[in-house]
Amino acid sequence: MKLHILFYLFVFLISACGGGKTQVNSVYKTTLEVYLIDQDAFQLNWQDANNATYYQVFKRDPDGASFQQVGSDIAAGKQSDGETYYFSAESNSEFKLKSCNAQSCKTSSIVTINSPPTLNATMDNSEILQFNWLDASYATHYKVSVKYDGDNAFTPLSGDIIAGEQSFQVAAALLELQDAQFQLETCNASGCVATFTVGLAAAPLRLSFNAPLV
C-alpha cells in the first residue's frame, strides 16, 4: 500500500514539473514605432514584449516580393535596432517586427514608410484658407502654424489635428496673410517634425502652393 502511494506521488511530481522539461511561456507581440529624428531621418523603436528573448526586424522594398531580415537578431532589453533610416531612401518600404523566444515568434503590424506630408494651401474670394496634406501612417496628429512678416518664430494656428484628418480651414482677410508663412508639423509619441513651409503672396485671390521647407 505504501509503495502504491509513493508511486502515485512520484508520478504527480513528475507531471507537475512538466516531465523534467523547462516550460517556455508564449511570447507577446509588440508594436513597431517610427521615431522621428528630423524631416528626413527616423529610427525604428518598440517596447519590450512579454516573454520575448530576441527580436527580428524585417523589410520589404517597394518592388520586393517578400520580406527580408534587416541585420542580426536583437537581444531582449534593446528597444531599437540602432539604425538610422531616411524617408527619402525608404519611401514606400514596409517594415515589421518579430518578437521571439524558443517556443515561437509573434509578428507586429506592418508599418509603411512614406515621407512626412507636403502642405498645400488654397484660398479663394470667400477668404477661407484651406490646408490639405496626405496622411502619414506613423502620425498620431498634425499641427499647422503661421509666421507673419517680421515675426521670429512660428505660432500655432491650429490645435492638434488627429491622424486621418487631412485638412484644416481658417478664415482670414487676404491682406492679413501677405508675406505670411505656414508650416505643417507631423507628430507622434516621439515628437514633431516641421516638414514643409508655404508662403502666401498678395495676389491673385486664388492660390495654390507646394514648396519645400525653407
pLDDT higher than 60, residue 69: yes
How many other C-beta atoms can be found within 10 angstroms of the C-beta atom of residue 40?
16
Q: String of b and e for 70-88 (b: at least 16 CB within 10 Å)?
A: eeeebebeeeebeeebebe
Q: Are 85 and 44 in contact (CB under 8 A)?
A: yes
- Pick from 41-45, 123-127, 128-132: least confident: 123-127
Give pLDDT, residue 99: 97
Note the pLDDT tens digit of each residue in 179-203: 788 899 999 999 999 876 776 654 3
Task: Sketch out the chain's domains with CATH numbers.
Answer: 33-112 (2.60.40.10), 120-209 (2.60.40.10)
∠ Cα 37 191 80 (to 5°): 55
Note the pLDDT tens digit of each residue in 80-121: 999 999 999 999 999 999 999 999 999 999 999 998 888 888
pLDDT higher than 60, residue 15: no
Task: Kindly state the cell numbers that stand for 107.
Answer: 509578428
Per the rule left: phi > 0, alpha: psi between -120 and 50, beta: everything else, 112 is beta
Sign of torsion, CA 114 167 123 192? Answer: negative
**Three-class secondary structure of residue 150 per DSSP:** coil
